[in-house]
Chain A
Amino acid sequence: MESGFFRKLPSAIPGLALIIITLVIIRGYPGMDIAGFKGIEPWMAKTKVFGMQKPLTDAFHLNYILLGILAGLLYRNVIFGGKIPAIFSDGFKLSRLMIKTGIILLGSLYTVQAIVQLGSFAIFLIGGFVLLSIVMVLWLGKVFGIDRSMTGVLANALSICGVSAAVATSPAVEAKAAHVAYAIATILGFGILTMFISPFIGHSLGLTDLQYGAWIGTGILNSGQVLAAALAFNPKVEPGSAVSVAEIWNIMRVISIPFAVFIVTVWYWTGKEAQESKSTRKGLGTLLVEKFPVFVIGFAAMVLLTSLGAFGDVGIKGGPAASDTIIKLRLWMTWIFGFGLVGLGGYIDFKEISQAGGAPLKLGLIVGITKYVLALIVVLMIRDYLVAI
């Protein structure tokens, strides 16, 4: 259905160029000075409005991440009238690959020891929330009389990581295309809202990077939106920053996709004719091979290389300063994420999302808000037990 990466590359150039130019205008770069203009973010950091020093960054917490997403949104929904034009389309599609690459590189923020410390706690919390959300959706699906296939898709989409989980679950529960579309529209709509309000809530409550990362890594549904919300709270990419915590939480959640697909598949096929069930249902082993997100292996390899000292010191608090290689790597990551998130904004179609509705939306909102608020309460309650890296 889709052509290969290298065949697409030439046709991706206009879109890539548009995203890079957008990002340069937003962030600027060291030494940039075009008739006094040094980039929107540097301009915001110096601007006084009504006597207030830099209100756009301090009061609205606008940074290059949020501005990048807003630019992507603006391109698709306003400037291009609802659809990225064919000439830019392939470039915007590449943004997915950039985010995935960035996540793999994020592995350089952690050592194996840090992953074990943080991850073992995260897996406990994440596991609890995944199971709780699945049970809640399956129960509410029955209460609202929602189609069984659609309930199955919503259960994993609202429990694990949005679109990825919906995509992984749909064939296993025989979901109709329309079910998947409405589930995706519901979770993306909710996710966009949480992506923009979470940094405000986090700053208003005075959350630390550790608390905030743990909260959004658990409470926000979509992985791309977790990344965006973390970087919007604190754009620093370093050990202990919001993004480093949120991504460990997120990866623990993503790893649970095959297991959650298995659970929901077993639930779906319960009550079906035994013979039909046997011929169609896949085992956990097959699901692990088919559904395991491969980039997690790249992330793990990066953590291992970092632990072995392949890139020099990582700059953990109290330890030696980060090496030049690590510093450059982190700078590149900020650009890669910035690039990917402009693309993410370009994929958000407000008209599509606004058409979602009915019982699936109601169910999505109930479960999404419950999870979001409960995750915040839990993180505030267990603040002393969260392990910093």
Chain B
Amino acid sequence: MERIVVAVDGSSASQEALNHAINLARQNHAALTGVFIIDGGWPDYIGNDWQSSQGARQGFLDHIQEEQEQQAQTARQQFEKAVNGMPSVKFSLEAGDPIDTIVKIACEKSTDLLVLSRRVFQISGRPSLKLLGEKLAKKATRPFLLFP
């Protein structure tokens, strides 16, 4: 294994996955990448909202963006604290649909192992993120390790 990717969201659920990913990376002398995904699906998710004023709509999207940026910062701090002193580590901030992005990572040749909690990103996400494990099982082409 040369590269392990771990999904991090700053929650206790992702801490367990992160700890395992760190152990595996140390044992295999592999590079470790932490990933947080800013959910870009909100404008579509409130798609039925055709009656809000522009101010209300934009105010809402700015509010969600701000929360997600704070969550990304918490995730970065969680990752950096856990990997302190480790060589070959990187934190990557992605944007897009969290499930699509995770599935894409789980299909990349450069991903030797994806480690994540089944509940990752639910802390600030949409209900469909509960289906993350199911989607990964169906679509991932690279090995992955799923924690509760």
**B-contacting residues of A (Cβ < 8 Å)?**
1-2, 89, 92-93, 96-97, 99-100, 161-164, 166-168, 170-171, 176-178, 180-182, 184-185, 188, 222-224, 254, 257, 289-295, 340, 344, 347, 349, 351-353, 355-356
> In the complex, what's the smallest C-beta–C-beta distance from A287 to chain B, in angstroms?
9
- Complex interface residues of chain B between 54 and 77 (CB less than 8 A to chain A): 54-65, 67-68
Cα–Cα, bound, A175→B61 (Å): 12
Q: Which of B44, B54, B123 has the most CB of A within 10 A?
A: B44
Do the beta carbons of B53 and A344 come within 8 Å of each other? Answer: no
Question: A97-B50, A254-B51 are known contacts. Are A170 and B126 too (CB-CB below 8 A)?
Answer: no
Cα–Cα, bound, A176→B10 (Å): 15
Chain A contact residues: over half helix, strand or loop, or mixed?
helix
Do the beta carbons of B56 and A355 come within 8 Å of each other? Answer: no
Do the beta carbons of A161 and B51 come within 8 Å of each other? Answer: yes
Do the beta carbons of A181 and B125 come within 8 Å of each other? Answer: yes
Number of B interface residues at 8 Å Cβ cutoff, please give it. 36
Do the beta carbons of A176 and B67 come within 8 Å of each other? Answer: yes
| Interface hit among B20-28, B106-114, B127-135, B140-148 | B127-135
Do the beta carbons of B61 and A1 come within 8 Å of each other? Answer: yes
Question: A93-B47, A293-B51, A347-B48 are known contacts. Are A167 and B127 too (CB-CB below 8 A)?
Answer: no
Cα–Cα, bound, A176→B123 (Å): 9
Cα–Cα, bound, A96→B43 (Å): 12
Would you list the 8 A-B pairs with minimal beta carbon distance, nearest first?
Answer: A355-B127, A96-B50, A171-B63, A290-B55, A163-B49, A347-B47, A181-B126, A167-B60
> In the complex, what's the smallest C-beta–C-beta distance from A298 to chain B, in angstroms?
12
From A99, A161, A351, give the contact of B128 (CB < 8 A).
A351
Do the beta carbons of B128 and A167 come within 8 Å of each other? Answer: no
Do the beta carbons of A293 and B52 come within 8 Å of each other? Answer: yes
Do the beta carbons of B122 and A178 come within 8 Å of each other? Answer: yes
Do the beta carbons of A177 and B48 come within 8 Å of each other? Answer: no
Residues of B within 8 Å of A100, CB to CB, are 50-51
Cα–Cα, bound, A353→B59 (Å): 24
5 extra interchain contacts, Cβ-Cβ under 8 A, other than A96-B49, A162-B48?
A92-B47, A166-B46, A171-B59, A290-B56, A349-B128
Residue B42 interfacial (CB < 8 Å) = yes
Residues of B within 8 Å of A222, CB to CB, are 48
> In the complex, what's the smallest C-beta–C-beta distance from B111 to chain A, in angstroms?
23
Chain A, residue nearest B59 (CB):
A171
Residues of A within 8 Å of B57, CB to CB, are 167
Residue B92 interfacial (CB < 8 Å) = no
Residue B101 interfacial (CB < 8 Å) = no
Residues of B within 8 Å of A1, CB to CB, are 43, 58, 61, 65
Cα–Cα, bound, A27→B142 (Å): 47
Cα–Cα, bound, A97→B59 (Å): 19
Question: A1-B43, A177-B67 are known contacts. Are A164 and B49 too (CB-CB below 8 A)?
Answer: yes
Question: A1-B61, A185-B127, A355-B127 are known contacts. Are A168 and B52 too (CB-CB below 8 A)?
Answer: yes
Chain A, residue nearest B71 (CB):
A177
Do the beta carbons of A164 and B52 come within 8 Å of each other? Answer: yes
22 contacts between A and B (CB under 8 A): A1-B58, A2-B43, A96-B47, A99-B50, A164-B50, A167-B49, A170-B60, A170-B64, A171-B63, A176-B124, A177-B42, A177-B64, A178-B122, A181-B126, A181-B127, A184-B45, A257-B56, A291-B53, A293-B53, A352-B127, A355-B127, A355-B131
Chain A, residue nearest B65 (CB):
A1
Chain A, residue nearest B100 (CB):
A83
From A97, A170, A223, A292, give the contact of B53 (CB < 8 A).
A292
Chain A, residue nearest B51 (CB):
A164
Residues of A within 8 Å of B63, CB to CB, are 170-171
Cα–Cα, bound, A340→B62 (Å): 26
Residues of B within 8 Å of A340, CB to CB, are 50
> In the complex, what's the smallest C-beta–C-beta distance from B37 to chain A, in angstroms?
13
Do the beta carbons of A352 and B126 come within 8 Å of each other? Answer: yes
Cα–Cα, bound, A99→B54 (Å): 16
Cα–Cα, bound, A164→B57 (Å): 8
From B43, B48, B123, give the contact of A344 (CB < 8 A).
B48
Do the beta carbons of B46 and A167 come within 8 Å of each other? Answer: yes
> In the complex, what's the smallest C-beta–C-beta distance from B112 to chain A, in angstroms?
28
> In the complex, what's the smallest C-beta–C-beta distance from A86 to chain B, in angstroms?
11
Residues of B within 8 Å of A223, CB to CB, are 50-51
From B43, B44, B124, give the contact of A178 (CB < 8 A).
B124
Residues of A within 8 Å of B128, CB to CB, are 349, 351-352, 355
Cα–Cα, bound, A127→B127 (Å): 32
Chain A, residue nearest B129 (CB):
A355
> In the complex, what's the smallest C-beta–C-beta distance from B98 to chain A, in angstroms?
11
